[in-house]
């Protein structure tokens, strides 16, 4: 084995020893049975219930969405054929971008291959286009935003999570005429908390900052027609750029950004992550378009999702499990120990047929390891009761003492 393999193998072993090694669970998904899926892996029941899906509304399995994808594959084939500049701009891309701009009442929109890429490209381009720019970023912003800030080579200031006063303090310390970007998320995916979006935007605009709002976990779920948290904010405080996802509430694949024609065109023209990447397949764009059009006119899916989240939170609290406060569809349950978190997740899957992924460092800070639960719009009350009952058994037998904050390394159910 070469020096390089040996070195990397050692680093992988360290991940495993710290319970931070990621295991991928292979699922065979069937639209008619979501949130259940089939798995052929050893020591796992054949039929499992997925309780951590990002397809929050179940739109990835909606007949309209599936039909749109199938019909487009028949007509346009599987591939877009290239990057947007090299024959890869299809009719479906243009129609989807028009729909997204109208959806958010903006001048223009741009579709990218993932929400991660949308964040990384937008932040890196805009941060690098203004001389002596400084970026103000929430301390819990997504890894893609952090990568975008690094790639921009701009100065950065990290402000306390959702803390308007801390943001203002740090903005006020910078020359007013210096170019500034403030970027934050409306909903944080590991906490499930909602940012004080209006107050943060008012603060940023007071100091002349360009504002970027990541709405990926809010799109399809919050705001009129699923337009996101910012939808209800007065026009003078609206974010300059909104970044969204096509793979979560919308249930397809990809990401997008929307704003003024100049902002969007600048990212389109200078963003290497768009320029040098093959574009999304036409069928994916058609599926996303069908989903958005349904979501805009239907409240059924989001009402069911939020009702399920409230019911799950209520039942977990009744059982004295350690639920993080959340007003959203994301319901995190604190474990506080990476080995134990992995062990509980493993037992839920192997014994109860419930897939609830463990979230450990570096995704979340040490000592806050958790199960990130989602009861989608397709879960039933009976399914939620099944999940809660299994969690109760696992936590009780792990000696967590339910409401006690025990973080001992001795608390294990076995190797994860």
What is residue 123's three-state secondary structure?
helix
End-to-end CA distance of the chain: 27
Name the phi and psi angles at 176, rounded to 5. Answer: -60, -35
| CB distance 185 to 217 below 8 Å | yes
Q: How would you class 123 by CB atoms within 10 Å of its CB: exposed for 0-12, middle for 13-18, buried for 19 or more?
A: buried
**Catalytic residue of the set 180, 248, 339, 346:** 248
Decide the pairing of beta strands 36-38 and 47-50. antiparallel
| CB distance 358 to 341 below 8 Å | yes
| CB distance 129 to 149 below 8 Å | no
DSSP-derived secondary structure for 296-317: HH--HHHHHHHHHHHHHHHHHH
Token pair listed for 115:
């929400």
88 CA to centre of own chain: 26
Neighbours of 32 (CB within 10 A): 7
In the residue annotation, 248 being an active-site residue is answered as yes
Token pair listed for 361:
């460092």
Neighbours of 217 (CB within 10 A): 28
| CB distance 71 to 282 below 8 Å | no
Token pair listed for 299:
């409240």
Nearest to 396 by CA among 415, 411, 374, 375: 411
Nearest to 124 by CA among 154, 100, 95, 86: 154
Q: Which residues belong to the active site? A: 248
């Amino acid at each position: 084995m070469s020096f390089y393999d040996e070195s990397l193998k050692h680093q992988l072993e360290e991940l495993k020893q710290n319970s931070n090694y990621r295991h991928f669970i292979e699922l065979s998904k069937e639209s008619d049975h979501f949130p259940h899926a089939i798995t052929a892996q050893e020591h796992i029941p054949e039929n499992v219930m997925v309780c951590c899906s990002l397809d929050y509304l179940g739109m990835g399995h909606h007949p309209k969405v599936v039909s749109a994808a199938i019909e487009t594959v028949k007509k346009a084939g599987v591939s877009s054929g290239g990057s947007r500049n090299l024959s890869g701009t299809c009719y479906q891309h243009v129609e989807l971008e028009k729909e997204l701009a109208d959806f958010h009442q903006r001048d223009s929109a741009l579709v990218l291959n993932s929400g991660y890429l949308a964040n990384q490209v937008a932040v890196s381009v805009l941060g690098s286009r203004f001389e002596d720019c400084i970026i103000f970023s929430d301390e819990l912003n997504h890894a893609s935003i952090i990568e975008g800030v690094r790639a921009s080579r701009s100065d950065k200031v990290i402000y306390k999570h959702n803390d308007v006063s801390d943001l203002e303090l740090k903005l006020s310390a910078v020359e007013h005429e210096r170019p500034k970007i403030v970027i934050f998320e409306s909903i944080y995916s590991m906490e499930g908390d909602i940012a004080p979006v209006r107050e943060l935007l008012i603060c940023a605009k007071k100091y002349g900052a360009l504002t970027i709002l990541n709405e990926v976990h809010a799109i399809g779920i919050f705001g009129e027609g699923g337009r996101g948290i910012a939808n209800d904010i007065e026009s003078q405080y609206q974010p300059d750029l909104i970044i969204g996802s096509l793979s979560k509430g919308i249930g397809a694949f990809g990401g997008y950004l929307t704003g003024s024609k100049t902002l969007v065109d600048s990212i389109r023209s200078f963003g290497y992550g768009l320029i040098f990447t093959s574009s999304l397949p036409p069928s994916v764009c058609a599926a996303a378009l069908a989903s958005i059009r349904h979501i805009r006119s239907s409240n059924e899916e989001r009402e069911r999702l939020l009702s399920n989240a409230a019911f799950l939170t209520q039942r977990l609290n009744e059982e004295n499990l350690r639920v993080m406060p959340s007003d959203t569809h994301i319901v995190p349950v604190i474990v506080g120990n990476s080995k134990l978190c992995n062990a509980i997740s493993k037992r839920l899957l192997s014994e109860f047929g419930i897939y609830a992924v463990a979230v450990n460092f570096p995704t979340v800070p040490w000592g806050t390891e958790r199960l990130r639960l989602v009861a989608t719009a397709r879960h039933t009350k009976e399914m939620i009761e099944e999940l809660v009952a299994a969690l109760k058994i696992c936590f009780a037998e792990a000696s967590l003492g339910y409401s006690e904050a025990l973080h001992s390394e001795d608390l294990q159910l076995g190797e994860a």
